[in-house]
Structure 1
Amino acid sequence: MFDLHFLPLNQSAGIWQAELPNFYATMPVKPVRLRANERLGLFSTIPLPAHQQRELLERLSAGYYRYEGTVTSALRSLVERLNDFLLSRNLKQSLPSAQQTGSLLAMVVRGSSLYFVVSGTAQAFLVRKEGVQHWYDAAGRPLGQAKIPSLRFFREEIREKDLLILAPEPYWQPEALMGIHALGEEGIRQRLQGDLVDFSCGLVRFTSGKGEIHWHLPSVVRQTPVKPDLETKAPERETSLSTEPVIVPQAISLSGKRWEGVSGHSPRLEQKESEESRVPEKNNLEKGAEEKPGTSARPVKPGKQKQSTFAMDWQPVLKAFAAFLHRLEKGWGTVRQVLRKFGQRVLPHPAGVEINLSPGVMLAIALLVPLLMAVVGATVYLERGKNEQNRAYLATARQFVAQAESESDPALKRQKYLESLEWWEKSGTFKNSEEGRNVFTTAQNGLDQLNGVKRLTFRPALRDGLPPEVHISRMVAYLNDVYALDQTSGRVFRLIRSGNDYELDLNFVCGPGMAGGRIINPLVDIAPAPQLANSNATVMGIDSAGNLVFCSPGASTMDLMVLRAPGMGWGKIQHITMNNRTLYVLDPMSNMVYVYRASPTTGFSPDDDPSLYFGNDTPPLNEVVDLVADVEHLYLLHQDGRMSICSHSGFEVECNHVAEYGDNRPGRSGEVERFEEVQFVRMQATQLPEPFIYILDASENAVYQFSQRKLNFQQQFRNVEPPQVTFPKESPTAFVVTPNRRLVLAFGNELFFAIIQ
């Protein structure tokens, strides 16, 4: 778990400001169960006054923590709410110049995972030791212009001292931010400011902790001149954003509670207000006690306080209170008589014996009986009212379904179905009624048809599962077997098909250890083994030193083939992919793709130098998250969902770095540079007779199927609704489509499979 340290930087008219109203973060307050362990941060560029913008971000945050669903769907709902708010205001404006648009950056930290969404022109930079990741929405369409907002999702695992920079516009190039995460606060500020006169941005530093949120006041704001008539204080030491919270007069560290003295607002805004509110008005001061201009009010010590000029006369109050006590005593005597008679008539007792209830018992009866009657009545009333409200919600959902079915515009039809499901979700117990099930089925089937979704019935792949520390990061298939790489240990698990399910091969050897007299480090990636003479290997893996191991079922040892290192040595081996007997090795730190070719008889030779796939014209590879190859092409999947397709033409490599996806679904644009609202993280290329590219979307637990070369969308696979098994809340980490048309999904240490019909 990580603590989040927030630092606002805001310079206006050459003066550093203490607050940045459009930068907001808060701990969960009365969240639903799914949101309890999440931390939300927002950065907006909405042209509203500071207090209105702060109130708007507070409401968006509160709505997020009440949302039931996945992180990505909750973030999407948050952005849509803001877009609807701006759009409704703009539709009421007759002049285009009066319309208001803006951007939003939203981040959610859940455990060690960072979920991020960009909508509009604002941009973010994640700076770490390995480099800088630039997060932006290439569409750049501001919020408040269209019914459906443009969204771009990102997900990353947080590391100690990572630095996230949130900016309203692209002030910097990613290369200019390299290494900035290692600087202190002053160094970061000076590096970001550069030649800029006025600029604003938000900084977030991640450090190991308990999931707390800490706000920091910039040092340039804290360092104010000391006046001669004020008590001189020792200068504050420079505080680095990467270490401790800054101590300011207000309690601005959120450790599971609200800020002291602040009702839901950011401490940076309220600090100035709270200081001003502590200055007494002149009417409440004795004559001559007014402060000099520019000085702050000093508290009066106990024992020396001045009596207020507005002294209160308590005499009438005491008389009224005495009269009230007298009337209460007379009324209590009457109540005692009534209760005694009531008890004698109702309670069982021997004849002739008078029931003598103590005053305490009679008082309890007098108070509890009407209280219980009120509680019962209120419960019945509220339950009836709630049922009527839920019934109205379901009726609204049914109306939206009817509107969707009669709508001819695919975009409006899709929106109506989505709104129907939102109202259906609110209908409580009526969701499970026959009418509720019909509404859900109709809306879901309509959306699936528009989105090209094929629903599959998933079930657990292993009866007992894998150990909890396992984190599957890559899977490959060979005939009926599935091989899964554990990122934690660098070991490969073999899953053997047994009937309709899978069993774990406990004797399979593939991972760190000894092979060919060399020490094998934990494997970083795996691929199907090429067919070589005298080799029964079904899977191969590579470690960080370039050692290539070949693993065979039933073997007690691994075969080793050492790859000859490049002339400059290895930077960081991240991914490998295999086509025929050609191996491609992605080394983003060296910004290279190295190519090794194996002999059909001897395999890879340690004497063969690798060739450079791109030659001397290598594109940036630091944002490539995966790569696959077919006979002629190399496919590079970028972090923002774009695809690059490269091929050899004679002795040169030709690349289309903005290869367009074909999307002919109803209401779609036909060709797009990337799919909106998805997070592509893993790829797989299958060969004849079904040559496809499969891509895993971690945001919606879906697998997309595309044709090779043209990247035409075919369909996407998702779990059935309602599901027979519920996927874990965390995002999927790996997938594979087997030759016998089974889709296997991994969520950390949990594996599920479905048959593709």
Structure 2
Amino acid sequence: MFDINLYTINLINGIEKNSLPGLIALTAPRRAARGRENDSLVVLLTLSGATTITAESLQAWLQKKGEDYYKTAGTVTFAMKSFVESINNELLDRNLKRAKDGGQISAMLNLAVIKRESVYLVNVGSTRTYFIGSGESIEFGDSENQGRGLGVDQMLACRFVQKVIQENDTLLFAPVPPVSWKAEAFDGSTKLSVDAFSRRLYNQVGTDLKAAMVRFITGKGSVNQTALWNTTTISSRSETPVFTEPVVNIPSAAVDRPISQSIVGSLTSLITNEPVQGEQVSSTGDNQLRPKERPISVDAQKTPVMGTTIISPGTAPRTIKTPKAATSTPSGWQLKVGKFTRSAVTWFTGIKTSGSRFIQKVLPGLSEEPIKLTRSGLIVIAVAVPILIVAIAGMVYVRNGKTQQFDLFLVQAQQYAIQAEAQINDAPSRLASLQQSFYWLEKAETYGQSDASKSLRLQVQGALDIIQGIQRLELRSVLDGGLPAGMIVSQIVPTATDLYLLDDTSGTVMRYFLSGSGYQKDVAFDCGPNPDNALNPMGKLVDMVPLNINNSFRASLFVIDASGNIEFCIPGESGVSGSLTPPDQGWRQLKSISLFKNYLYVLDIGGNAVYRYEGDGIQFGEKPTLYFDNQIPPLGEALEIEVNGDELYILRASGQMVECTYSHMKDYKLTECEDPALFGDMRTGQIPETINFPEAQFTQMRMTAAPDSSIYLLDSRAKTIFHFSLQRNLQKILHPRLSDGLNLAKLTPTAFAVSSGRIVFMAFSNQVYYAPLP
């Protein structure tokens, strides 16, 4: 674990300041969400554009966003993406509200999360991050968003970088780095003291510079913050007393308690673009937030820095007497309310008199008892009638206003769609225009839909799908009414005529076969644990593979449990059970199997091994051999294995893939593994580009045989299927749509498979769907 020493650089017109607005550093509270317990967060947000946002309100807002980060469970990259999207959405919403005023702003973001011995980085905008290690110095930028910052576009891409950190490794955040700051210029800087490195940073930087430096020192995970002064030009430093801005360490209750009133005020100031009462700021040319100068009645040289108290030696603090409050007088709005009330009373008194005279003429018997309304009753009527009138008018306005808003947003979407058509030869600009069109269309359809909006949605969605390599799957239900309640399908094996579903709840397999009316259940099929059969040794099944039915058992399915017990499952009857010959170290925890020709491969995550059986037909009676030689990759988080020839593919829970090549000639060459095996992207050209998927949560892997040899990965978080070649190059992404009207957003895929007939099957707990591959 490392302590984080945080240094700020804020040079304005040659004068050094002792704090940097937009910079926060947080450590995890005691009651952080799962996965956030060991995270330290460092954020530098730099605003651009005309704004009256105060430095205090910006800090308060970022503090609140930091607290939200520690409430987000999941992986580091998922929490970072949520943090970035939250800031982007609020700034974008603010800009949309102020589009007519022209007071729009954008922001550049440097974000770092330190987790044990690793640091995760992401940049948004034209800002730069430098990682300076003992062996290398690297400069990172944002190549995904074409230099656009936060608050500009809803469609935001995040490129994450992970580095292992060591003692004295250093990070530099620089929104606008000097020309002299090059990665190679920082080589060897980890051996320098902070003062020596400071001199290198300040060399040829000009009169304006904003940056933050993080140096990692072995410790207990604490954060220390101070200004990084230019030791070569101390005389140019501001004469104000040195103030070290305290690093905020969120207390254990901060995650649950509501934000204080002062922070709410600051946040309101940020979103409404209004300064907090009593403070005014102006935006300078370099986007530095500074208070406007105001006349004061004390000597400026004796004015302490905010948060600092200065008491001259030998003098006692003076007690400031609070002046007595002046006699209160009615304010302007109180006078208006009183005047309105008196007018209402006079008006209703006149109505009462006229009404009484009319009733006395119509009903003479009531002449001795005229209508009586109390003063309080008249006041209630005076207040209620205007409210009723305003409510009725509001209903009419809202109805008309929604139509106007819909038309306004739809016109915006149509204009971006037309602009995209003119950018047919400029793929990045065309993609940005289509994304803007889709964004405004989404805004429009929050107020309703029309034939024009539906047509535009199909047009824009289709164009986006083509550019992004997305294809749609129109899923239809396999079984009317679904499966029994409580069943969770965890594995699917389709054949030309059968469909096998492994139930994670019971650990058994159900067989469905094609008939004239669709799939029918094989009620006599008995595969997996059976408490009614004392001779059945099977535990809950963990995996299954199909068999060619032309075997001695007439079995169509081979299944295995976590202890190495196996069963040959036969249509229409009970299966034949047995057990695999265990390796010398025995079985620990079997997770997955793969069958290629007459070789069976077994993944034992408890023993960190993959074993290889050479079979006689479908019989595997011999002792297995270890697949690996000298190089054995970590397999504790492995989920699935697939085999194609001598190639073994391993999918980890982290989303990483390992590819190993088996060697039959051990004297000549040993079995080798590529760990991790990188993914490529073939959608943008003929040469694959290295790509990763930090937001994806790959949970299953399936492989199809020739002639369409491919790898398919299920992303259960996005509910999509990634299609790769055997060289791990991304071909396309399949997005499902349900034809039965169920809300896909509320469902989570639990299993999938691709048949030899190019049919995709997907299960969402006890609902199973199918669709032909596009």
Task: Name the TM-score, length of structure 2 as normaliser.
Answer: 0.62
2:84 equivalent in structure 1: 79
Aligned to 1:356: 371
- Cα-to-partner distance string for 1:56-83 (whole Å, 9 max, x where unaligned): 4646999999xxxxxx999867635757
Q: What is the match of residue 365 of structure 1?
A: 381
1:583 and 2:600 are equivalent in the alignment:
yes
Give 2:415's aligned residue.
399
Give the alignment partner of residue 61 of structure 2, picking from 55, 67, 78.
Answer: 55
2:660 matched to 1:666? no
Report how far residue 735 of structure 1 moved. 0.2
- 8 Å Cα contact 1:10-1:20 kept in structure 2: no
* Cα shift readout 1:346-393 (whole Å, capped 9, x = no counterpart): 999945456614326544432221111122223333443343233221
Task: Specify the alignment match of 1:646 in structure 2.
Answer: 660
1:338 aligns with 2:350: yes
Q: Is 2:179 the counterpart of 1:170?
A: no
Q: Which of the residues 382, 405, 428 maps onto 1:389?
A: 405
Post-superposition shift, 1:574?
Answer: 1.4
Counterpart of 2:427 (choices 398, 406, 410) is 410
- Tell me, in whole angstroms, the C-alpha distance in 1 between the residues paired with 2:254 and 2:79: 27
| Residue of 705, 719, 727 corresponding to 2:723 | 705
Partner of 1:729: 746
Residues 469, 57 of structure 1: alpha-carbon distance in 2 compared, 3 angstrom cutoff? farther
- 1:510 equivalent among 527, 543, 548: 527
Q: Secondary structure at the residue paired with 1:371?
A: helix
User: How much has 1:444 moved relative to structure 2?
Assistant: 0.4
TM-superposed deviation, 1:10: 6.5
Matching residue of 1:635: 649
1:653 partner amino acid: T
Whether the aligned pair in 1 keeps the contact of 2:507 and 2:542 (CA below 8 Å) is yes
User: Structure 1: which amino acid aligns with 2:347?
Assistant: V
Q: Is the 8 A contact 1:582 1:598 kept in 2?
A: yes
1:456 alignment partner in structure 2: 473
**1:685 and 2:699 matched:** no
Q: Secondary structure at the match of 1:411?
A: helix
DSSP 3-state at the match of 1:574: strand
Deviation at 1:46, TM superposition (A): 2.2
- Looking at structure 2, the residues matched to 656 and 522 of structure 1 have their Cα atoms a distance apart, in angstroms, of 33
Unaligned runs of 5+ in 2: 8-22, 46-54, 72-76, 96-106, 125-137, 149-154, 168-214, 224-247, 267-308, 311-318
Q: Provide the rounded CA distance (Å) in 2 between the counterparts of 1:722 and 1:57.
A: 44
How much does 1:592 deviate? 0.9
* 2:468 is the counterpart of 1:447: no
Unaligned runs of at least 5 residues, structure 1: 1-6, 14-18, 28-36, 66-71, 90-98, 108-116, 123-137, 154-166, 174-192, 202-220, 223-244, 267-292, 295-305
The answer on whether the counterparts of 2:488 and 2:504 sit within 8 Å (CA) in structure 1 is yes
Q: Deviations over 1:454-492 (max 9, x none)?
A: 222212222222344333222111222222222233222
Match of 1:3 in 2: none
State the Cα distance separating 1:194 from its structure 2 match: 11
Q: 1:45 aligns with which of 23, 42, 47?
A: 42
Segment drifting more, 371-380 vs 491-500: 491-500
Residue deviations 1:314-360, cap 9 Å, x none? 6x769999999998997676234223256569999945456614326
Q: Check the 8 A contact 2:567/2:575 in 1, yes or no.
A: yes
**Counterpart pick for 2:735 among 709, 718, 733:** 718
For residue 218 of structure 2, the aligned residue among 191, 196, 200 is 196
Answer yes or no: is the 8 Å Cα contact 2:737–2:744 preserved in 1.
Answer: no
The alpha-carbon deviation at position 724 of structure 1 amounts to 4.9
Determine if contact 1:60/1:81 at 8 Å carries over to the other structure.
Answer: no
Structure 1 residues 395-427: Cα deviation after superposition (integer angstroms, max 9, x where no partner): 111122122222222233222222211111111
CA distance in 1, matches of 2:112, 2:522: 49
Matched, 1:625 2:645: no
Q: Which residue of 2 aligns with 1:490?
A: 507
The counterpart of 2:713, out of the listed 695, 698, 718, is 695
Alignment coverage as a number of residue pairs: 578
CA contact (8 A) 1:121 1:168 kept: no
Deviation at 1:547, TM superposition (A): 0.6
Q: Within the alignment, does 1:752 sit opposite 2:769 as a pair?
A: yes
Q: Say if 1:417 and 1:431 are closer, same or farther in 2 by CA, change over 3 A.
A: farther
Output aligned runs, 1:90-101, within 5 Å: 101=109
Q: Which amino acid counterpart does residue 396 of structure 2 have in structure 1?
A: V
Contact 1:706–1:714 (Cα < 8 Å) also in 2: yes
Taking the aligned partners of 1:633 and 1:403, their CA distance within structure 2 comes to 47
CA distance 1:26–1:433, shift in 2 (3 Å): farther
TM superposition shift of 1:11: 7.0
Amino acid at match of 2:164: P
Structure 1 Cα separation of the partners of residues 362 and 2 of structure 2: 79
Root mean square deviation, CA, Å: 5.3
- Structure 1 residue 197 displacement after superposition: 4.3
Structure of greater Rg: 2
Give the distance between the partners of 2:464 and 2:738, measured in 1 at CA. 12
The residue aligned with 1:120 is 122
CA distance in 1 between partners of 2:686 and 2:220 (Å): 41
Q: CA deviation at 1:694?
A: 2.1
Instruction: Describe the SS at the equivalent of 1:418.
Output: helix
Identity %: 27
Residue 725 of structure 1 deviates from its aligned partner by 4.4
Residues 736-745 or 336-345, more deviating? 336-345
How do residues 218-229 of structure 1 correspond to structure 2 at under 5 angstroms? none
2-side partners of 1:506 and 1:728: how far apart? 33
1:699 and 1:521 map into 2 onto residues whose CA distance is 30
From 544, 548, 552, give the equivalent of 1:526. Answer: 544
How many angstroms apart in 2 are the aligned matches of 1:423 and 1:53? Answer: 31
Summarize the Cα distance change of 1:532–1:418 in structure 2 as closer, same or farther, 3 Å threshold: same
Kindly state the Cα deviation for residue 717 of structure 1 after the two structures are TM-superposed.
2.5
Amino acid at match of 2:746: K
User: Which of the residues 619, 625, 647 maps onto 1:603?
Assistant: 619
The DSSP-based 3-state class of the residue aligned with 1:526 is strand
Shift of 1:170: 3.5
Q: In structure 2, how many angstroms separate the alpha carbons of the residues matched to 1:624 and 1:669?
A: 30
**Equivalence for 2:203:** none
Cα displacement (A) at 1:612 = 0.9
After superposition, the C-alpha distances for 1:167-206 in whole angstroms (9 at most, x for unaligned) are 9963479xxxxxxxxxxxxxxxxxxx997148558xxxxx
Q: Distance in 2 between matches of 1:194 and 1:59?
A: 24
The reply to whether residue 258 of structure 1 matches residue 258 of structure 2 is yes
Q: Structure 1 residue 103 and structure 2 residue 118: aligned?
A: no
User: CA distance change for structure 1 residues 558 and 313 in 2, over 3 Å: closer, same or farther?
Assistant: same
The secondary structure found in structure 1 opposite 2:404 is helix
CA contact (8 A) 1:627 1:635 kept: yes
- Structure 1 residues 618 and 386, CA gap change in structure 2 (3 angstroms): same
Summarize the alignment of residues 235-254 of structure 1 with structure 2, pairs less than 5 Å apart: 252=254, 254=256
**1:548–1:561 Cα contact (<8 Å) kept:** yes
Letter in 2 for 1:55: W
SS in 2 for 1:463: coil
Structure 2 partner of 1:558: 575
Q: State the one-letter code of the partner of 1:571.
A: R
